[in-house]
Amino acid sequence: MRTAFVVLALAIATPAHAEQVGVVVTGEATLQPQVASELEIWLHARGRQIEAAALEPSAINTLIDCFVLEDLGCARGLVDARSKAPSVMYARVEATQTDDGMREVSVTGYWFQKNHEALAERRICEKCTDEKLHDTVDELMLALVHEVPLPSEAAAASAPVAEQPVDEMPVENQPRKNFVPLGLMVAGGAAIVAGGVLLAIDEDPVPNGPQQATYRQTATGGVVMTVAGAAALGTGIYLWMKDRKHGAPVAAVTHDGAVVGWTGRF
């Protein structure tokens, strides 16, 4: 079964001249929302505007087929021809369980710009926590887009690290994790809007009289997107209020269903 998490974001306080970027994440369903949120935050921080549904579901399926065939030219041609945004960030996430019970996550990123050669980078997050995955995505994007780190990132990289017991500053206490529920709330709200649009434009054959040659069958996708968006929005609000310290939310949309839940250690 193919799965793809497409970032849908509302353009809030974004300059009109900002570069528009579509974001598509495929692979491990439980990690798609987190990686998509990290990518969205990274791009917004550098003045990009996220293009909602830059690729239609059928185009995403074709894009996945291109990568199954390992045909980068096919992928580039599809983005050039069918993307609503001039740039598309595509990421494939794979995860394996190691012998010590930790996870190893591989993130392969492709940066597409229309009428340009595609750029590709791959990073592996060993013994991967949420914080390490954030750093892995950040490193991947800096290599792909060739931008200098933000002042806060540069300061963090150059600051000396004092030796201290590991349990004094656990990863879960870092304030950055608040961005995950925020990203879910934004993506969930936009998914609800997009789902409503798909429901509104759905067409059915009329009982009598002349029939059209073709009809738009978008109701199923609209229902799936609305339900998944509502779940993501609700999960984001809950996390924002409760600030859970363990686990991560899961809300992924596929071409024939949705995955909603929570992953963590219990």
List pLDDT tens digits, range 32-65. 999 999 999 999 998 899 988 899 999 999 999 9
The pLDDT of residue 232 = 78
Residue 28 lies in a domain: yes
The pLDDT of residue 213 = 67
Residue 184 lies in a domain: no
The pLDDT of residue 151 = 60
List pLDDT tens digits, range 165-214. 434 733 333 444 456 777 777 887 888 888 888 778 877 776 676 767 67
Residue 198 lies in a domain: no
The pLDDT of residue 163 = 43
Residue linked to tokens 């990690």: 31
Residue 132 lies in a domain: yes
The pLDDT of residue 96 = 93
Long-range contacts of the stretch 114-122 (C-beta < 8 A, 24+): 114/79, 114/80, 114/83, 114/86, 114/87, 115/80, 117/76, 118/72, 118/75, 118/76, 118/79, 119/144, 120/72, 120/144
DSSP 48: -
The pLDDT of residue 230 = 84
Residue 26 lies in a domain: yes
* Mean pLDDT computed over every residue of the chain: 76
Residue 171 lies in a domain: no
Distance CA 106, CA 180 (A): 20
Position 145 confidence tier, pLDDT thresholds 50, 70, 90: confident
Q: Mean of the pLDDT values across residues 238-242?
A: 65
Distance CA 79, CA 225 (A): 23
Contact by Cβ (8 Å): 249, 187: no
List pLDDT tens digits, range 12-30. 344 445 789 999 999 999 9
The pLDDT of residue 263 = 46
Helix (H), strand (E) at residue 95: strand 87-97
Distance CA 91, CA 136 (A): 12
Residue 81 pLDDT exceeds 80:
yes
What is the extent of the structural domain holding 82?
4-150
Tell me how many domains the chain contains.
1
Residue 227 pLDDT exceeds 50:
yes
| CATH classification at residue 104 | 3.40.50.10070
The pLDDT of residue 218 = 79
